[in-house]
Each structure stands twice: as C-alpha cells, then as structure tokens.
Chains A and B, each alone.
Chain A
Amino acid sequence: MSTVLSPAPTSHPARVETTAPTLSARQLAAALPGALRGLDPRKLWDAPVLFVVEVGAAFSTVLAVVDPSVFAWAVAVWLWITVLFATLSESVAEGRGKAQAASLRATQRETTARRVTAPQDTLDYGGDLASLPAVQVPSSALRVGDVVVVVAGETIPGDGDVVEGVASVDESAITGESAPVIRESGGDRSAVTGGTVVLSDRIVVRITAPAGHTFVDRMIALVEGSERQKTPNEVALNVLLTVLTIVFLLAVVTLQPFAVYSGARQPLIVLVALLVCLIPTTIGALLSAIGIAGMDRLVRRNVLAMSGRAVEAAGDVDVLLLDKTGTITLGNRQAADLLPAAGVSPEALADAAQLSSMADETPEGRSVLVLVKERFGLRERAEGELAGAELVPFTATTRMSGVDLPASGRRVRKGAAAAVTHWVHATGGHTGPEVAATVDAISASGGTPLVVAERVGSAPARVLGVIHLKDVVKQGMRERFDALRAMGIRTVMVTGDNPLTAKAIAAEAGVDDVLAEATPEDKLALIRREQAGGRLVAMAGDGTNDAPALAQADVGVAMNTGTTAAKEAGNMVDLDSNPTKLIEIVEIGKQLLITRGALTTFSIANDVAKYFAILPAMFVAAFPQLSVLNVMHLHSSESAILSAVIFNALIIVALLPLSLRGVRYTPASAARMLRRNLLVYGLGGVIAPFVGIKLIDLLVTLLPGIH
C-alpha cells in the first residue's frame, strides 16, 4: 500500500461524483457507424424488444411501399429511427471506452525481451539469474514460466512477478499516475505489468501470463466492452421485458379480430405502431448502454471489474471489510500528546523527546518532531549543533531509539514502555507507579505509549514522561460510515492491533464492528461466517496472504500494487491502490441497479399515456363516444398515432445522457430512496408522455399530408 490516497473530503463525502462528460454531437457522429452495424438482426436477436421493433419497422416499410401515404412513410421512418436510436445508445456507450483502449493498445507494441536460458530447475530455484546468459526473443513469444531481465529504460515485456532486484517502474500507461512506483522481489509489491517501463535499476521477472492474455489485454477488452457479458440481473430483466413484449404482442395481434367483430378493421401499419409504442422500447434500447456506462464509471475511477457480476454484487454488499491501516486511518500513528512524569517540566520532556527522535526515521518518530515544534517551538537541531552526539537507531530487538551525548554525559532513550522500563531498571532506576498508570491509560484508549527516559552519567536512569501515539482517523470517514449504515451496510474494521486499541479506533471512526488481532485465516473465517448468514461481503486487499479472502469475498478488490496472486484472486483491481475506493465501488454498483430500475419503471409507466393517444385514434371512427378518452385533444387520428411513435423514439435519446451518467444517487435508506425514485420515474413516467405527445402533436400537424 505505497500510494495511499486520502479521500477527497467534500460536502457530500459519500456521493458519487458525476464526472462523465455530457453527450456531444461529435460523440453521436462518431458512434453512428457502430450504430448502423448494430442494426444487423442477428445482433438484435439478443434483445428481443429491439428485434420486434426492427421487424415492425421492416414490415411497416413494406406496407408503406405497397400502400404509400405520408402517414405510412412517416411511421415507417420513425420506427427505423427508433431502432437506430437504440443501437446508437449502445454504440455511444461503447465509444467512451475506445479512447482509453487505444492508449492501452499503444503499450502493447511488440518489444524484444531478454529471456534467460537455463534449465528449469535453475530458473525456479537458482540465484543471481541476471548473470545467466540470455537470448533476445520477441515479447509475443514469451510463455508462462519464462524468466526475463529488464533494465532501466526498457519496457517490461509481459505480466509477471519480480524474482530478483528492485526497480522504480513507470506505470502511468495503465494507471495514469505519473509518479513511479517501486517494484521489488518478495513481499507484496512484486507484481509488474507488461507495457510498463522500468525507470531505474534492473529486475528479473518471471512471466505469469501468456502473451495475449495479459492484464492490459483484459483491460482493453473490458473498456471496449467487447467482452461484455450480460450481468445476472440484466439477464433477468431481459426475461421480464421479453415476456412483457409477448403479452403486448398478444394484445395487439388479437386486437384485429376484436376490431373486425366491432366493424372497425384497423390498417396494419396502425397496429404495428401500437405494438412498438407498447412494448418497453425505452428500457430495451438503453439496457446495454446502462450496463456499459456502469463499467465505464468504474474505469473512470481506475477500477477494473473483471466481471459484470461483481459490479452488481457491489450494489448488494451487506458487509464491508476495511483494513484499518491506510483505509480508515492515515496509515501511521502520530504523536498526539506529551505527558511529563512527576517533577518534570513539559519543556524538559519535549526537549528529550526531540533528542531521542533524531535517530528515528519512522513516520512515528518524525511525528514527534512535528509535535514538539508545534507545541513548544522547538526547531530541529542543525547538524553539528550537538558535538559528538551518537545516534542510537531503532532496532527490532532493542525497540528503542535515542542519542548519547558524550559532552554532557546524557543518554536519552525513547521506545516501547516495556523496553524503556527494562533499560531504566537495568541502571538501578525506578519507573514509578504514576508512569505505569499513564502507560496503561494510553493503551486502554487505543493509543501507543512511548516512554522517554534519560540517564546522566552513571546515576540511575529516570523516566521523563510518556509520548501518546495515536492512530489518526482520516477526515470524513465517520460521515462515510454513517452513510453506509443508512444504506444498510455494516462496516467491519480489520486490524492486527490488540482488541483494546482496535475498539478505540473503531469507536472514533464510527465503524460497526471490528476484527482485532486479525490473521489472514481470521479474515477468511469472518467472510465465511457472514456469507453463511446470507450476507454479501466486500473487501480490499493486496498481499498474497489476502488472496484466499479476496477469492472468498463476493466483491474482492485487489490493489494494483499488490501481488499477482491477489490480483488473480480478486474480481476487481484498483489501479490507484486506494482501499477507501471500496465505498465508491459499492455506490457505483447501486447506481447501476437504480438506473436500470428507474428507466424500466419509466418505460412501463409511459404506456398509460400512449394508450390514451392511440386507442381513441384507432376506434373513434367506429365509436365516436371514445373521443372523450382523447384527453390530450390531439389533432387527428393520424397525428395522434404518429406523435406517440415519435415520442417513443425521441425519449430514447432524451434519456441516453441519464443512462450514461446514472441516476443521481445519495445514500439513504431503501424506503426513502424508493419513495423518491417512484415519484420521479413512476409518476414522472406517467405524466411526461402526456406533455411530450401533446407537444409533438402540435408540430406534427404542421406536416403536409397528415390528416
């Protein structure tokens, strides 16, 4: 987790930003060729609603040729426009990924790789592979298990793990982030991606993906939408839409016998128009655009979903597992307070704390320097200010750092309470009960106590006081968790800290639950437990030991900086390696589902007005009393039917920007969200076409030849 970004604190911390550009005329023009290709009936067969519209359009064209009239041609043309708008929507949505795909493709140009030639045993277990003989091969010839050497200035020829060396790598081609990242063998930062460039040093890489199946290949397929498979809910919705289409087909086909019985036989073109207006064309046309745009919104946030299923699952997530470090807290503990021992002045403690931290290069050590500077105005001491000072660096065995000042005979130490206490006792000194009490109090509050002590000459050492180190919770996290809770999502903080510390931070950050002293096995067990209760779990992780949990979670977001194992196990990869993004991913998943539901509701609600436009128009000649149903006072039968058809087509493009952007989403309880969306898209869906059809009718009557 090298590039942890803090979330941008905004007034609505948890709101999905709508950065998608609005629809431009150029975008539409660029999408037109794709839209025309989409008219191929074999492609439309997958979307039965659109297939029916196309058959209707073709049929009405035949009818218009056989029995030409302005009305017949107008209906036929508008039916074709309806299909075209539908395929255009999909094409526009796909077009937005094209540019990104092109820049990714640029990274894929053929390079030469230096493949180490040695027996497999040596490759697998041998050391110093970089010094072995190597041959030049084209990158496309690399196979899994091959070992290549890459030096500064070269492009990494394929996906793999660093097995030797450390290097800084420019991954901007994939992540867009210009700052180089460190890749080294062993540990959790060993994965490299083909197409990225080594900036310094030399690394040996074992290839883990065959050419053509690399991460970039998958990315290209994803952003282009060419590999897009329908998500489960999309498939289910398609089933419902198909059956609705069949119901309306029955209603329209059987209408002719009833009309004949009633002495009001209908022209076939009118029946075709009625059918197209009734079947759910709006949602049918926009369904795949919504899906592609949802994936696109993720890509824009530098998240790659390896399956659409995962995006939908993200909307359903019940439990979020969040790592404490880097996700909830800023990653490092920081000095928050100085608590002097009895008889010691705060200034003296600050001075000793500063001295003892000079040798401490850890973030915690630096935070002590910052604190004393802010509180006591103690500047950092310049080089040479302390003549002959010997710095004692922190080591894992001593668990102390400090400084020896031979000039004054002073030795200052700072470190873990147990270590410093041990040091004081060893010199014959005492720590005193009140220091122990302070230490315990800090521990109990979830902080980390660092004890500062000094020894002058050969006198027993004495404790000067305690530094209170605290985990600093990122800004805005509490609001985010509150928002998640409102959405019904429980957050569980995962940390290696002891339960006491963990609880304190959990309380401060406002998470619902905490898994303390967590091992990877604990994490996996927790996920299984939640899933056994029927809940869906999302988590982020980067290490190899996270891989089982990532694979088990319903939504597993792997950090791009992480290991190949983690990336393979998760079903999403975050190129920014920002675990906080999990929350945004959930929101994008929800937004996708909401948009789908809203437009389905809108589409079906539209039919009410269309009936009021078309039915009186069809039968008013035979039954004049039906004119009371012409509540919109449409001009004539022909204008009414044509207006409904035109409205039906135009509403598709009118709603396209909304499908691409997604319905506005603010975290709220399900009940509130339902009320709002029903009002806007249900009631709005009933009312909008009354207005729209009336307005179009006013224009249509201006057409010459429409009676």
Chain B
Amino acid sequence: MEPTWIVLAQLGVVVLVLAATHVPLGTYMARVYSSARHLRVERAGYRLMRVDPDADQRWSTYLLSLLGFSLASVLLLYALARLQSWLPLDVGMPGMNPATAWNTAVSFVTNTNWQSYSGEQAAGHLLQMAGLAVQNFVSAAVGMAVAIALVRGLARSSAHGRVGNFWSDLVRGSVRILLPLAFVAAIALIAGGVIQNLHAFSDVSTVAGGTQHLLGGPVASQEAIKELGTNGGGFFNANSAHPLENPTPWTNTLEIVLLLVVPFALPRTFGVMVGDRRQGWAVLAVMGSLWALAVALTTWAEVAGPGLAPAAAGAAMEGKELRFGPAASALFAASTTGTSTGAVNSMHESLTAPGGGMTIFTMMLGEVAPGGVGSGLYGLLVLAIIAVFVAGLMVGRTPELLGKKIGRQEITLVSLYILVMPALVLIGTALAVALPVGRDGISQAGPHGLSEVLYALTSASNNNGSAFAGLGASSTFYDVLLGVAMLVTRFVPIALVLGLAGRFASQRTVPASAGTLPTHRPLFVGLVVAVTVVVVGLTFVPVLSLGPVVESLS
C-alpha cells in the first residue's frame, strides 16, 4: 500500500501540469490551425500527395478527403500486417491472419487500438514503426482535424459550408503538434527507463542455467504517441502495465499526463478560434467535472471498494502492479477510459465491480471526459447542442449555440450522432450474448461475463480500445464484430459532425443579446454534465444493472 500522500502527489502533479499547459498549448494549437504559413517540410508533403493545402474545402470535400485517406490507411496497414514476414525488420513474426489483420488495420486507423493480437508475439518492428506508430500520429491528427472543422463552422458566418482544408489540418496536427510533443515525451520516457532499440527478441541463458526471453524494440517512441494521441495500442500485450513500457510511478504519472494533455487543451483552442474564451472555459469545466467524477468514483471503488478479497488484502490488488498501487491504477483507468485511449496499467477485468462498472460508464459517456484528441471536443459540442436544444427552448427562443440556430437539419445530424454509439453497443452486446459463438469468448459466467462482453463492445464502439482482458476476443466473430463497430462508430459520426460543421459554416451568426442562452455560465456547465449523464444513464441503465450493478450489490 502506498501512503496517501504519494497518491495525492501523483494526482496533484497531473492536475498541475494540465493546468499549466492548458493555455499555452491550447492557444498554440489554435495558431497552428489558423496560420496561413506552411513549413518547408509540409510543402514537400503536399507536393508529394499532390494536394492544394490552401483550398478552403466544403464540408463534403473535406469529408471525402478524410475518408479517402483513411481507406488508404486501412488498406496499407492490412497489407503490412499480412505481409510483414516478407519485409525487413520482421523480427521473425509471421504474417497476420485475415481476420486479425482486418481488425488491427481498422483498430489503428480509427484511433481505437483494440488489439486482438499480442504485440510481442505478432507485430514485428516494421509493422510497429511504419504501420502502427504512423497511424498513432495520423489517426489522432484526423480526430483533431474534424474537431477543428466543427469549430471553424461555428466560428464562421455565411461561409457557404467551407470548413478548412483537410490535408493541411492533417499535416499540421501531425507535424506541428503531435511530433514535437511526442519527441519530448519519448526522451523523457527513455530517461525514466523505457527501452528504445531495434533488437530482435532473443533467448539468453542465464548464469543460473535457465533461459530468459529478452525483449527489445522502439518502445519509448511508440509509448509517447500511444498516450499523446489517445491511441492506446501497447507495444507489448501487457500494455502500460509492462515494466518495459512503464517502469516506475514517475513514468506512470508522465503517461497519465500525456494521455490527458491534448484533450484538455483543445477547449482552449476552441475558445480562441470562436473568439470567446469563456466558451472554452465552459467546455473545459464540463470535461473536467466528468473526469473528476470518474476518477473519484473509480478510486473510491478500488481503494475502499467492496469485496471480501480486497478487504482481506487491504485493497483491491488483484490484476494491479505493486509498483503503482490501487489509487494510481484507478487514476490511470479512469483517464484511459475517459480519453478513448485504451492503454492500461492494470487488468480492468480485475477491477472491483463498481470500479469496472465506472470504466464502462466513463466510456459510455461517448468519450468526452475529456475524450480522445479531437473526438472528445466534437463529442462534447454535440452534447452541448442537445442541451441547448432542450433547455434553450426554456428561455423563449429557438435554440442556438454560439449564434448558430439549431434547426431541423442540425438536430437531425446531432440526433443521428447520439444514436450510433448506443445502437452499436446494445445490438453488438445482445448479439454476442445471444449467439453461442459470442458466449464462447466469455471467461466467467454470470453478471461478470456480461460485463466482459459489454466492456468489449463499449470499448470498440467508443474507439477506446482497452479491454476487460478476460474476454477471449481473438476469435473471427469478435474480430469482425468489433472491427465493424470500430469502423462505423468512427466514420459515421465524423461524417455527421462534418455535415454539421458545413451547416453551421453556411449559417449567418446571430449576435448574442440578453435574451440569448448564455453558454459559458456554471449553470450551463452543470446542465451539459447532467444531460450527458442522464441521457447515457437512461440508455444503458438496463444493461448496466444486469452487469456491474448486480455484481456490485452482491
């Protein structure tokens, strides 16, 4: 058991670093996306891709560019995974089978990083570096691009649906934001003891006569962007619980900061770009409240949580690393599920029943606490639109957000957005527990088994990627089901959000008056939090009550 002060110190460091970086990083990102200048390396990239980075695209063109890029990414990654044994740096790994390769390709392109393979047994260095790591950067940059396009839509007036340039947003997000941050983070991680080399895996004989399996690889560089881009795909199967990925409490704290830093800075970017920083603070407050709630409840569950075994052991230590302890594991768990990262430093399967339930619920919020890079911001803005639409009527005006009217078309796009994820989670989970092929993967009967399946579908349908590792999800059934869920839940909402951005960009901005619903006050922040929790709660309470709730109450 770690002393309380160490736990508090870790939390304190995380909050302090986030508070210190919020304004400068957020403002910097706003400048990156608003700047008219191109770096030389970026220009070279545009020439290579044969695109015009200065064309102000309509939302539909923006979307088509994004979909084309993502399709190409999936195909490339699939080919890399299937063919890696014929390529250099394979460190002896065979090509993946079609189902796993499909699942992996979709998973990394959708920023989910669900892994139906074990890194050290299936992915060679080339696949890791040229495939997975590249996607860790660009899939994150795609998420940010979509968020920025929506913000532009809100900020512009009568712009005929033009929301910016996808290629320039993609390249700038990668080159000017993620790369430098990841570089610094990787150096810091190496300093903290994370390995970085190109060694093949090897067995050596130890002095005592036994054999030891030695692992190597470019781990630190991968680790940095894994957290920073809220990706979560571990180099090794044990992910951030692995001592070579996350050796000490210090690196653990750093990794938590990394996975929160961009999502928590984006509200500032939003505030700056719409020209009203108070709006940014309000979004930050909603994200912060939800995250704080998730952290508090998960920590409570893990530290003081119910159960006979935890009581005997002093805390719920099963499945947790002794070097981190239950509180730091809970902080990591809440943050990784709140950010759609999906990296883990403990076995979520072994969390206490209420703790596991909290991680599922945190994902079900739609990844807005504070959410994935980009996806958190646009997800939250969609929820804010719902809140504005229902409550906004109560001030006697047709609803508007930042001077943009929420009419029939806008609310249709938003409604469909909030329909996608619950539909995938509920239908997918129902299919899995109803079909024998799905039930086969369940490792524990009873409510916990339902939680296992629910966790997997919730994780995939929110592009999170973490797992209740108990579920045997490496079957073709789960590979395909989860792959479909990841693909649909990434790109259908993106299409809807870009459509929304286009609608907003076409609208004229209505100036605010005393009769306008103020969307920066604490009351509205509370309202969005309440709408988020209630809408998600109402949708998922039945299934949750049969899984984690029943488990917690037993």
Contacts and interface: CB of A to CB of B under 8 A. Distances in A.
Interface of A: 232-233, 235-237, 239-240, 242-244, 246-248, 250-255, 257-262, 264, 274, 278, 312, 315-316, 318, 485-490, 533-536, 589-591, 593-594, 596-598, 600-601, 604-605, 607-608, 611, 615, 619, 623, 625-626, 628-629, 665, 669-671, 673-675, 677-678, 681-682
A366 B398 CA distance: 48
Q: Which of B416, B426, B514, B537 has the most CB of A within 10 A?
A: B514
Given A236-B389, A236-B412, 16 more contacts: A237-B389, A239-B411, A240-B389, A243-B415, A250-B422, A258-B430, A260-B433, A262-B446, A262-B447, A315-B398, A318-B515, A534-B508, A590-B397, A608-B537, A623-B553, A626-B545
Contacts of A252: 542
B543 A626 contact: no
A704 B447 CA distance: 36
A615 B545 CA distance: 8
27 contacts: A232-B408, A233-B398, A240-B411, A240-B415, A247-B419, A248-B539, A250-B427, A251-B422, A255-B542, A258-B450, A258-B547, A262-B450, A264-B546, A318-B510, A597-B395, A600-B390, A604-B534, A605-B534, A607-B534, A608-B538, A615-B545, A619-B550, A625-B553, A669-B515, A671-B518, A671-B521, A673-B394
B516 A615 contact: no
A490 B415 CA distance: 34
Interface in B508-554: 508-511, 513-518, 521, 523-524, 527, 530, 534-535, 537-543, 545-547, 549-550, 553-554
A251 B550 contact: no
Interface in B141-171: 157
Contacts of A611: 538, 541
Contacts of A240: 386, 389-390, 411, 414-415
Contact of A487 (B396, B521, B546): B396
B398 A232 contact: yes
A349 B446 CA distance: 104
B418 interface: yes
Contacts of B517: 670-671, 674
B392 interface: yes
Q: Which of A318, A670, A671 has the most CB of B within 10 A?
A: A670
A590 B390 CA distance: 14
Contacts of B411: 236-237, 239-240
B422 A316 contact: no
Contacts of A237: 389, 393, 411
A594 B419 contact: no
The 8 closest A-B pairs by CB, nearest first: A597-B393, A488-B515, A590-B396, A488-B513, A243-B415, A488-B514, A625-B553, A254-B430
Contact of B396 (A274, A318, A673): A673
Q: Which of B386, B423, B539, B542 has the most CB of A within 10 A?
A: B542
Contacts of B510: 318, 534-536
B434 interface: yes
Nearest to B550: A623
Nearest to A677: B394
Q: Which of B431, B434, B545 has the most CB of A within 10 A?
A: B545
Contacts of B449: 261
B429 interface: yes
A247 B539 contact: yes
Nearest to A686: B534
B391 interface: yes
Given A625-B554, A671-B518, A258 B543 contact: yes
Contacts of A254: 426-427, 429-430, 543
B502 interface: no
Contacts of B419: 243, 246-247
Given A625-B554, A665-B396, A597 B542 contact: no
Q: Which of A254, A489, A589, A596 has the most CB of B within 10 A?
A: A254
Contacts of B407: 232-233, 236
A594 B545 contact: no
Given A232-B408, A488-B514, A490-B513, A678 B394 contact: yes
Contact of A258 (B392, B422, B446, B542): B542
Q: Which of B397, B517, B521 has the most CB of A within 10 A?
A: B397
Q: Which of B408, B410, B412 has the most CB of A within 10 A?
A: B408
A608 B527 CA distance: 16
Contact of A262 (B524, B546, B553): B546
Contacts of A619: 545-546, 550
A298 to B, nearest CB: 15
Interface of B: 157, 386, 389-399, 403, 406-408, 410-412, 414-416, 418-419, 422-423, 426-427, 429-431, 433-434, 439, 446-447, 449-450, 508-511, 513-518, 521, 523-524, 527, 530, 534-535, 537-543, 545-547, 549-550, 553-554
B226 to A, nearest CB: 33
Contacts of B423: 246-247, 250
Contacts of A236: 389, 406-408, 410-412
A258 B538 contact: no
A246 B427 CA distance: 12
A628 B515 contact: no
A625 B548 CA distance: 12
A275 B457 CA distance: 23
A246 B521 CA distance: 32
Contacts of B408: 232, 235-236, 239
Given A251-B539, A489-B513, A674 B523 contact: yes
Nearest to A597: B393
B396 A535 contact: no
Given A254-B426, A257-B434, A262-B447, A604 B398 contact: no
B511 A678 contact: no
A356 B514 CA distance: 51
Contacts of B513: 318, 488-490
A594 B535 CA distance: 21
Contacts of B450: 258, 261-262
A165 B423 CA distance: 71
B515 A671 contact: no
Contacts of B395: 594, 597, 670, 673-674, 677
Contacts of B540: 251
A674 B397 contact: no
Contacts of A315: 396-398
A600 B422 CA distance: 21
Contacts of B431: 257
Nearest to B433: A261
Contacts of A665: 396
A32 to B, nearest CB: 31
Contacts of A239: 408, 411-412, 415
A387 B447 CA distance: 112
Contacts of A536: 510
Contact of A251 (B392, B524, B542): B542
Contacts of B389: 236-237, 240
A180 B449 CA distance: 82
Contacts of A625: 550, 553-554
A593 B553 contact: no
A598 B550 CA distance: 34
A357 B510 CA distance: 52
Contacts of B514: 485-488, 669-670
A619 B427 CA distance: 21
B433 A670 contact: no
B527 A678 contact: yes
A675 B523 contact: yes
